Structure 1
Amino acid sequence: MFSYHFNHAIKRILLSVLLIVSPLVHSKTIEDAKGNTIDIPDQVTRIAGLWHANNQIILLLGGADKLVATTTVIQKHPWFNQVYPRIKTVPALTNGQTIQMEELLQQRPDVALISSSSMQEELTKAGIKPVMVMFQDFEGLKKTVQITANVIGDNAPQIAKQYIQELEDNIAFVEKRTQSLAEKEKPVVLHIANSNNLLKVDGGKSIIGDWITKAGGRNALPEQANLVEVSMEAILKANPDVIIIGSANAADGIKKIHSDPVWQNISAVKQQRVYVNPMGTFPWDRYSAEEALQVLWAAQKFHPTLFQDLDMIEKTQNFYKKYYHYDLSKENAQQILHGLDPLP
């Protein structure tokens, strides 16, 4: 009998100790971009950022110190490195297609932020909680910012609210100035994804199509989606008034266009309205929280007279100070606006 009571007492003491040193982990339920509900820890401290673009939203929301995994694209991204040097030491465990699962499991993430359903299945099987954050328009961007903020916790929801308000204010500012324009006064805009293939474009059914419209333009290929290869004949027929080239090395694309006789009869080329898209901690044109600046930049390119008072250098400096706590020089801001890497 003594032995029974003694053992029972020991068990109670051990249980009490375990409760003290290992408090119950509280959880919260969030809904991702696809409407899936996921239970995650109430206090998330370890995040795997497995979609290139979303790493930049995590940075903007003040959660980058929680990153325990990132992507190869982000780890090598010049401006991300400049603004947040720690990214060089965060394991890059996906190229956007495949995941180094064994290494990821060693990082013990509380949650993984992703953009593909194939990754979702793979992570779920491995016991990692995946949260989808993909979008194709500004409403989706706002939703993704809110989801990411809910995952991060801390001050992120307040920052998200501030950012979304700024995004909406910038869009409203542009729409108010362009609202009296007739349709024919809005330039036809062709957005080329990158300089590697000048026939790979982003049509109207994409986030690019959304900012072109909001900035007072018309998409040259309104029925096309994101990253679609089209014929040169289709581009010649659309005859864009403005051409914008995105991604790194976009300036090479402009050189190709100016040296190729086929492009010379297009209005944008004749009028010298071929531009490099700005590139900050992520390309402004594609899945970036810096879309808040993109819509202003694009409006000024489309309607220079209407927006001649808009100081994009100052806007860029203020944005980086407010959200990244990073002081951009005027030269830095100009480099970003021209799609250039920071000087070594």
Structure 2
Amino acid sequence: MTISAYFRAALAAGVLSSSAAGAAPIAFQDMLGNPVSLPAPTQRAVTLPMPAGSLLISLDGGAEHLAGMHPSAYGLMKDGLLARMFPATAAVRTDITRSGFVPNVETLLQMQPDLVWQWGHMGDDLLAPLRNAGLPTAALVYGTEDRTREWIRLMGLSLGQEARAQAQLRWRDQVRAEIRAATDAIPASERPGVLYLSRHAPQLRAAGGNTSFEDDITLAGGRNVSASIASGQTVNIEQIMAWAPAVILLNNFEPGLTPETLYRDPLFADIPAVRERRVYKVPLGGYLWDPPSQESPLYWQWLSLLLHPEKFSWPLRDNIARAYGELYGYQPGADEIDAVLRLNMNQGAAGYERFR
């Protein structure tokens, strides 16, 4: 079943919109086990975690109920497709932090949100000011696919959009099952070594073991060459040379980082991924595809096509168009899909012609 079928099924059930939930009170436990009580589906939400703003939009079908979001998250979307899909994001407040994820409590009190989403795994210093100010707060914890699924469930519940949340979760389940049917049996010796370069400057950093990045690579039939290190640990070029990755994935957090950056660097010249031109900038759609998001199933399909084109024949461009219609109510044009897939940036990369 496609994502379209999941959303049609929800619509047929008459429960796709928040109106079906009425104004009934909502109660749940956040990801730290703290009780959250709302008198009705949230109308003015603030999202401090960067991925949460675009996820909320996808669950709500618009930006109407997003009152504030992290400035860096807005920076990622303002020049991209999400801002084009939802011009109302230009009016969303971004002055809600002091630095990093430290909340600007004075501003938030002026805004009077009915729910503030905040990181729950970075220490109580980020939560206590909100709690002490009497602001309704829900904690999110980052990392695994299970945690991402809980984000979707809780945020959908808070908006009265449980059906949209369930449609997203079923889509994730279906895509993962389809990929695993082809990749679970692949032995380690046939899995290409993949390096997700989480930072290039000022120091090289790689995604370690037990991360969402490793889960993505393993799911798609690859082998995370940096599985032995801690997440985001600094590495050097000698270590990367020893790992000898067959594929290198470049993060979206450094806009100036492109495959050409590595191709032009003589230090990387002897690395197999560079020699074979298998360095790829990860796509960017409604949100970055490398961290977990509402668009992860599209990322898994993209990555599986790169690693094992002999096993998959996803019509990825069609899938993007359908998914954006359901997630955002928007039909992207061919040039917009080109931009999502970074066709210009990845031009000349091995196998990338399949995405045209």
TM-score by length of 2: 0.83
Structure 2 residue 110 is the aligned partner of structure 1 residue 110:
no
Query: Which of 190, 204, 228 is the equivalent residue of 1:223?
Result: 228
Question: What is aligned with 2:53?
Answer: 55
* 1:247–1:283 CA contact under 8 A, matched in 2: yes
Superposed, 1:72-221 pairs within 5 Å as 72-76=71-75, 77=77, 78-79=79-80, 80-92=82-94, 93-94=96-97, 96-115=100-119, 116-117=122-123, 118-153=125-160, 156-197=161-202, 199-221=204-226
How far apart are 1:179 and its partner, in Å? 3.1
Q: Secondary structure at the match of 1:39?
A: strand
Q: Is the 8 A contact 1:194 1:253 kept in 2?
A: no
Identical pairs, percent: 23
Tell me, yes or no, if structure 1 residue 264 matches structure 2 residue 269: yes
Whether the 8 Å CA contact 2:50–2:69 is kept in 1: the answer is yes
Worse overlay, 311-320 or 176-185: 176-185
Partners of 2:343 and 2:254 in 1: CA distance: 8
SS state at 1:65 partner:
coil
What is the Cα deviation at residue 252 of structure 1?
3.2
- Aligned amino acid, residue 300 of structure 1: L
Pairs aligned (count): 314
Equivalent in the alignment of 2:34 = 36
Give the structure 2 partner of residue 318 of structure 1: 322
Q: Aligned letter for 1:70?
A: M
CA distance in 2, matches of 1:99, 1:276: 32
Distance 2:343 2:284 in 1: 5
Q: Tell me, what secondary structure is at the counterpart of 1:190?
A: strand
Residues 224-281 of structure 1: CA distance to partner in whole angstroms, max 9, x if unpaired? 3433222222211111110000115556342221112221111111111100101112
- Taking a change above 3 Å as real, the CA distance of residues 188 and 291 of structure 1, as seen in their structure-2 partners, is same
When residues 294 and 97 of structure 1 are mapped into structure 2, their CA distance, relative to the original with a 3 A threshold, is same
Instruction: Structure 2 unaligned segments of length 5 or more: list them.
Output: 1-22, 346-356
Cα contact 2:47–2:118 (8 A) shared by 1: yes
Alpha-carbon distance in structure 2 between the residues aligned to 1:125 and 1:28: 22
Runs of 4+ in structure 1 over 6 Å off: none
Q: Please state which structure has a larger fraction of its residues in helix.
A: 1
Rounded Cα–Cα distance in structure 2 between residues aligned with 1:114 and 1:226 = 21
Which amino acid in the other structure matches residue 73 of structure 1? Answer: S
Matched-pair contact (CA < 8 Å) for 2:247–2:278: yes
RMSD over equivalenced CA pairs, Å: 2.0
Query: In the alignment, residue 102 of structure 2 is paired with which amino acid?
Result: T
Paired with 2:71 and 2:255, the residues of 1 have a C-alpha distance of 20
Aligned counterpart, 2:65: 66
**Structure 1 residue 339, shift from structure 2 partner:** 7.6
Distance 1:316 1:214 in 2: 19
TM-superposed CA distance for 1:187, in Å, is 0.8
Are 2:30 and 2:140, in contact at CA under 8 Å, matched by a contact in 1?
yes
Cα deviation digits, residues 32-73 of structure 1 (max 9, x gap): 122222222233211111111011110110163111111112
Question: Which protein shows a greater Rg?
Answer: 1
Quick check: 2:194–2:217 contact (8 Å CA) kept in 1?
A: yes
Q: Which moved more, 1:230-239 or 1:319-328?
A: 230-239
Alpha-carbon shift at residue 173 of structure 1 (Å): 0.9
Residue 18 of structure 2 is matched in structure 1 by none
Q: Secondary structure at the match of 1:299?
A: helix
Q: Check 1:198–1:217 CA distance in 2 against 1; reply closer, same or farther (3 A cut).
A: farther
State the AA in 1 paired with 2:285.
G
Normalised TM-score (structure 1): 0.86
Higher deviation after alignment, 129-138 or 291-300: 129-138
Is residue 202–residue 209 contact of structure 1 (8 Å, CA) maintained in 2?
Answer: yes
Write the deviation string for residues 191-238 of structure 1: whole angstroms up to 9, x where unpaired.
Answer: 012453461221222111111111111111113343322222221111
Partner of 1:334: 338
Q: What is the distance in 2 between the residues matched to 1:338 and 1:85?
A: 22
Tell me which of 42, 45, 67 is aligned to 2:43. 45
User: Which residue identity lines up with residue 93 of structure 2 in the other structure?
Assistant: P
